[in-house]
Structure 1
Amino acid sequence: MNGEASLREEVCRVGASLYARGYVHASAGNISVRLPDGYLITPTDACLGRLDPAKLARLDLEGCQLEGDRASKTLALHRRIYAADDTARCVIHTHSTHLVALTLQGVWRPDDIVPPITPYYVMKVGHVPLIPYHRPGAPEVAERVAERIAGARAAGRPIRAVMLERLGPNVWHDSPAEAMATLEELEETARLWLLSRGEVDPLSEVQIDELRRSFGARW
């Protein structure tokens, strides 16, 4: 239980950090972690800035709730991400301002919402496809995301994030801290792209290949 207790504290710490810095507002956003025998996820309509470790929803591997406050309605999507990517240990969803604004204005490409304009975006985030708009909690979204994960893996360029049109990003990694760092880099790149008004050239293929060879970038 010590490991689970630490994860509960970490989810609350990450939630408070995201809320304090404006990555989430009101009761928007959710965080989950995968356990050996189930999942933890933030409760439905909970403010990520004021989470209680004891009230996080605890679920079994089938998604049946065992304890805590009622689980977020996005649980099905989170479980589908974990099933599609066995390296994922944490999923974070936010309504990050610049990323949502980007989908309102128009993304760079459906398969890449922003171009590779910085080395750290290439190294830390990678390709991020757009998932067309569906209402919050729509079951079709989970299947669309799983298809994107499978397609990216088959193409030899696995992804760790998708962008839900008009809603926000879903980012996953092997810990809450790593997932948060990936989200931060993604939101910052969207902000830079919007500020540049799309008038900056992407990194060249030669520059990207150097990042692949030097740092193992998955672009």
Structure 2
Amino acid sequence: TTSASTMSTTSSTTTTSSTSTSSTSATTSTTSTSTSTTSTTTTTSSTSTSTTTTTTTSSTSTSTTSTTSTTSTSTTTTASTTATNPFTPSTVTCANTVATPCTTTTTLVASCQSYEVSWNNHCYYLDGSGGSCITGYSQGTNAVLTCIATQFAGKTYRSTISNNCCVWTSDTYECFELNSNCNSAGPFTSGPSLACTDAQQQFSQQLTFCGSN
């Protein structure tokens, strides 16, 4: 009877060993889950790469710059066509006076006095005459004086020494002054230069710019 009881115990031990094997199988399942996580990381990396669509913004910026440049060029061309008749009196200030082309409009050359400058078939002189000119002459413009000012070097007053050196012209404002021989006898060492900006000096012997009609 005692011998049969011992065999029953041995059978129980075999069962426990089988349970241990089942536990090992569970560990293998956990490893498989870890591999699945790695696959998810790869997907995130792919999404980051597709965000390189900034090329569209760069293209729009270039197009706008090109349009602005074209408009600016068109405006400049229009402004450069503006011209002023050098014989027409001006009412604008010296700073706003438009540059005048000093090209002559005739091949004729006026025969002038020694104190005069000949330009564009007209004779011009400076005199301390207080705004008046001799018969057949009238006040010239600042535009004409701009073209011939340097040619007065070596010339003299027509008849009267001035008592104010700002040059009175037919324009509203005076833009020139005689620095050399100012209020003293000539011949002038140099012609009038830009000065007396926007002055309106009109004394009795004001230096006056006159030209033949």
TM-score by length of 2: 0.21
Larger Rg: 2
